[in-house]
Structure 1
Amino acid sequence: MGAPCEYGLLIARPGFLVQLAPIRRVFHSQGIFVAKMKLTQAERLSLWNQYEILKHVNPDDIKEYERNQEILSNGFELYYSELNPSIYESGVDEATCREVQEILNVFRAITFSCDRLKYTPKSYHAQFEGFDGNGSTGHYGFAQFLRRTLGLWDELADRPDNSHSSTSLNHYRAMVRAWDRLGGNYELDAAEIEQIADAR
């Protein structure tokens, strides 16, 4: 793993300790540093050297490391993302993450209230249907991370991830506004459940 030091970063691997020159903006994954889109010559050299070390640490993956070294040696920018395809170019901002949490909390309030009242909502929209996997930028992936990876909002575990609907996010936002107007209460009555579910 990487550790900051006065002159840049220290990369620790079994039997190896490599000090890198300062790097502009990088992301860390599995001990490999990957620039977002642009790499200076010094950064390319640093990355090339890391792959050289990894060739000794993980000889079974030597072909992959040599391919990555060729990308870096020649500066093939189109293939920089291939150095670690699991790191996305764009992230999910804090506002989007918080919005996902608010939406999930609305459905938590509805679910808990229905269980408490032993009430079956009349509105189809009282059930969480996921986020649009194609259209809602960041919402789908972050909700899936919260629910499937972290195991949070487990009361919604049996609900789908992908709504396949471009209108779901706007409807969820209307539901959040309606829930907020009611005080963000987790103990709703039947009328409030229907009011939130059918919010527009």
Structure 2
Amino acid sequence: MNMNHAQRLILSNQYEILIGMHPERAAHYRRCQTIIERGYCLELLELEKSFGHLTEETCREVHSTLEMYHALKVSYENLPATEAQEIAANRLEYIGYSRGHEKELADYVCFVLDEEGKFAALGKSGKALDAELAMRDKYQRMLAAWQECPRHYKLSIQEIRKILNA
């Protein structure tokens, strides 16, 4: 984190204000204030990690994943009953990203679903989602298969299977 002296002074003063506003977290804010004031580079990197950063491309990927799950749900509901029985409905449920392995992605999903109110048709709360395993690679394979389909919201049973098995 590169900051000039003025920026470090401003951030130090903000930590001073936080100490007064939240005395229960005073020790944490004092530590952060000391790191900022003294310019401890190793610890500055630690502070920077808490800010997080997702690129525009990654954010679009998450949106596409959520849209794909919406398309899977819509397509599944429009299948004839005999075909729909071939796939367990729970396989079409979006389970989110792993909080242990993909925290920034999981946090972004919470933001998109809960704060922005997008993709309400999925019927999910971001806070309730937590895959046990890292899911990003799986979702990327699924997205690639979905993008090959000519009609994204009118998927056949074969296309749904292909996406789920990607």
Highest CA radius of gyration, 1 or 2?
A: 1
**What residue is the counterpart of 2:142 in the other structure?**
175
**What residue is the counterpart of 1:106 in the other structure?**
68
Q: 2:62·2:109 contact (CA, 8 Å) conserved in 1?
A: yes
TM-score, normalization: structure 2?
A: 0.70
The offset of 1:184, in angstroms, is 5.0
Structure with a larger share of its residues in strand: 1
- CA separation in 1, counterparts of 2:97 and 2:106? 5
Q: 2:38 aligns with which of 75, 81, 88?
A: 75
Q: 1:103·1:176 contact (CA, 8 Å) conserved in 2?
A: yes
Q: 1:162 aligns with which of 126, 130, 142?
A: 130
**C-alpha offsets along residues 44-96 of structure 1, whole Å, 9 cap, x if unaligned?**
334455677x59xxx755895x94896378526477699xx8x8333111111
1:122 is the counterpart of 2:90: no
> Residues 44 and 71 of structure 1: is their aligned pair in 2 closer, same or farther, counting only changes over 3 Å?
same
> Residues 193 and 90 of structure 1: is their aligned pair in 2 closer, same or farther, counting only changes over 3 Å?
same
The offset of 1:180, in angstroms, is 0.9
> Residues 170 and 121 of structure 1: is their aligned pair in 2 closer, same or farther, counting only changes over 3 Å?
farther
1:95 is the counterpart of 2:57: yes
Q: Give RMSD over aligned pairs.
A: 3.7
> Residues 73 and 194 of structure 1: is their aligned pair in 2 closer, same or farther, counting only changes over 3 Å?
closer
TM-score, normalization: structure 1?
A: 0.60
Alignment: residue pair count: 157
**What residue is the counterpart of 1:148 in the other structure?**
114
| Structure 2 unpaired stretches of 5+ | none
Pick 1 or 2: higher relative contact order, CA cutoff 8 A, min separation 6: 2
Q: 1:44·1:73 contact (CA, 8 Å) conserved in 2?
A: yes
- CA separation in 1, counterparts of 2:140 and 2:87? 20
**C-alpha offsets along residues 169-198 of structure 1, whole Å, 9 cap, x if unaligned?**
222112111111112511222232222212
Which secondary structure state, in structure 2, belongs to the residue aligned with residue 138 of structure 1?
helix
Q: 1:44·1:72 contact (CA, 8 Å) conserved in 2?
A: no
Q: Percent identity, aligned pairs only?
A: 23
- CA separation in 2, counterparts of 1:130 and 1:183? 26
> Residues 181 and 51 of structure 1: is their aligned pair in 2 closer, same or farther, counting only changes over 3 Å?
closer
- 1:45 is matched by which residue type in structure 2? L
- CA separation in 2, counterparts of 1:192 and 1:81? 45
| Structure 1 unpaired stretches of 5+ | 1-36
Q: 2:69·2:92 contact (CA, 8 Å) conserved in 1?
A: yes
